[in-house]
Amino acid sequence: MLKTGDKAPLFTLKDEKGNEVSLSDFKGHKVVLYFYPKDNTPGCTRQALAYKEYYNALRELDTYVIAISKDPINSHLKFKDKYALPFILLSDPEHEVIEAYGAWQEKKLYGKVSMGTIRSAFIIDEEGTIIKTMPKVRPDDNALEVLEFIKEYKENK
């Protein structure tokens, strides 16, 4: 998994409407990039709704939220519409970006071992450097932790 201080790998993926979105589109702004396992599952829905709750506060701090999973764009569109999510959902079906950030890892569930997306988040500064790595985050707490970190980061800068 990438660490604080690493350069964020650049990427271009399709959003829920099929439009290409690149990390470089956000140069000059902070970005919260979070990876999640699957649309419309209980934990992923709670995490998305928490980001929705804090979205305006994050935007006031010049921070964009981008969520990535391996789900297809039509799944993202349904998920986004169902919960009126205000942020970008990107589809990474080949999990290339998920792997580049180190969020594709071995998982164990009921004794079964498989590879999958680890719920994690990265905060990227205006120049494309990771200023905070958050591995194995909790869906209910992640958005508030991100908001508090960005507020503190801004105060100390």
The catalytically annotated residue of 23, 31, 33, 44 is 44
Q: Beta strand 88-91 with 104-109: parallel, antiparallel or unpaired? A: unpaired
Give the chain's radius of gyration (CA, Å): 15
Are the beta carbons of 135 and 1 closer than 8 angstroms? yes
Half-sphere exposure of 97 (CA within 13 A, CB side): 27
Q: Which of 129, 94, 155 is nearest to 10 (CA)?
A: 129
Which tokens hold the place of 141?
Answer: 């707490």
Are the beta carbons of 1 and 102 closer than 8 angstroms? yes
Give the count of beta carbons closer than 10 Å to the beta carbon of residue 127: 10
Q: Is 44 an active-site residue? A: yes
Active site residues: 44
